[in-house]
Structure 1
Amino acid sequence: MTAPFALKRIHHVAYRCNDAKETVEWYARVLGMTYTTAFAEDKVPSTGEDDPYMHVFLDCGGGNVLAFFELPNQQPMGRDPNTPAWVQHLAFAVEDEAALLAAKAHIEGQGIDVLGPTWHGIFKSIYFFDPNGHRVELACDIGTAEQYTELRRVAPLMLEEWSQTKRAPRHAEWLHREPGKDQ
């Protein structure tokens, strides 16, 4: 079944932050994002609730926008205690491995702990946390056209097997063998 409309892109993705100004400054300094827009209201337009907020928007390239809400009258930010910290994250693409390594050096130079690069078969990533506790990933693609084609082919098979067994299917076993590393 297809929808009677076509999506163009993600308009924005919104997360909560502890401090809007600190968050805007951090994303500009650490990741080079441009702060573009802010909305501030005392009442929520969609619900009419009295809940002051600052909503800030950052251009993260390619027509993509990352947004944050500061909610001073709400309980302090938390995270789902039943979801591991590595699951929910923001992932951004960089051009290549050289850019990934340059990003790692720049981010570590800001005094931020960085994990990686981590090999994922068709891309490599680094990971770190923003000042709000959100995990951030930078990734560069390293796969071949043939590898991406094969992954598209086996994706339905993998999903079906996972659905039945809740164990990792091995239709793309080659993804788990990093060249030059002993298994």
Structure 2
Amino acid sequence: MQIMRIHHVAYRCNDAKETVEWYAKNLNMKLILAIAEDQVPSTKAADPYMHPFLDAGGGNVLAFFEIPNSPPMGRDPNTPAWVQHISFKVESEAHLLEAKAQLEANGIKVLGVTDHTIFKSIYFFDPNGHRLELVADTATPEMQRKLDAVKWEMLEEWSKTKKAPKHAAWMHDGSYDLAGEAVAA
């Protein structure tokens, strides 16, 4: 089997209409489909829902479920809020800065720009409490090559020690310049 792509990713929302309008206003996503049923097709459970689908660009679809008969939404109390998030790629750093300005003008609190060396990003929350990230790639081919060369070693070391391997510490310690070359010590 070969996966072709993600068909859609679905999250819960508090209010389907509010969510669709928020994503249209703040991230320019268009509503492409809405499904509503009184019974869940897969489980046959009697549980009415509204299931809107949004165009997230490039064939990507973000969907939501409003399920009014369930207890209010919550977060996993054992998972920090920064862990679970949806990240969207933007065309350039200039587009990232434009998006940040637009979000802030709409009254949305934005964290960043955060420089991850291989990309820059901003973080914010949607009206449902889902953390979102916008990313502009900045990696050089050399940076990508270096990360690719150590990915399995890093995973194996983490698996054994549960401590952050230092193979790619250059991403956040400033030891690489913007061209992806080592900075002289």
What TM-score do you get using the length of structure 2 for normalisation?
0.93
CA contact 1:121–1:177 (8 Å) conserved in 2: no
* Mapped partners of 2:64, 2:145: distance in 1: 35
* Mapped partners of 1:52, 1:115: distance in 2: 36
Structure 2 partner of 1:146 = 142
Aligned length: 176
SS at match of 1:73: coil
* Mapped partners of 2:160, 2:113: distance in 1: 33
* Mapped partners of 1:105, 1:170: distance in 2: 35
Q: After TM superposition, where is structure 1 displaced by more than 3 Å over at least 4 residues in a row?
A: none
* Mapped partners of 2:168, 2:39: distance in 1: 50
Query: How much does 1:176 deviate?
Result: 1.5
- Structure 2: stretches of 5+ with no match in the other structure: 179-185
Structure 1 partner of 2:130 = 134
Within 5 Å, which residues of 2 pair with 1:1-183? 5-178=1-174
Counterpart amino acid of residue 44 in structure 2 = G
CA RMSD of aligned residues (A): 1.0
Between 12-21 and 149-158, the greater mean CA deviation after superposition: 149-158
SS at match of 2:124: strand
Counterpart amino acid of residue 88 in structure 2 = F
Counterpart amino acid of residue 37 in structure 2 = E
* Mapped partners of 2:172, 2:40: distance in 1: 47
% identity of equivalent residues: 66
What TM-score do you get using the length of structure 1 for normalisation?
0.94
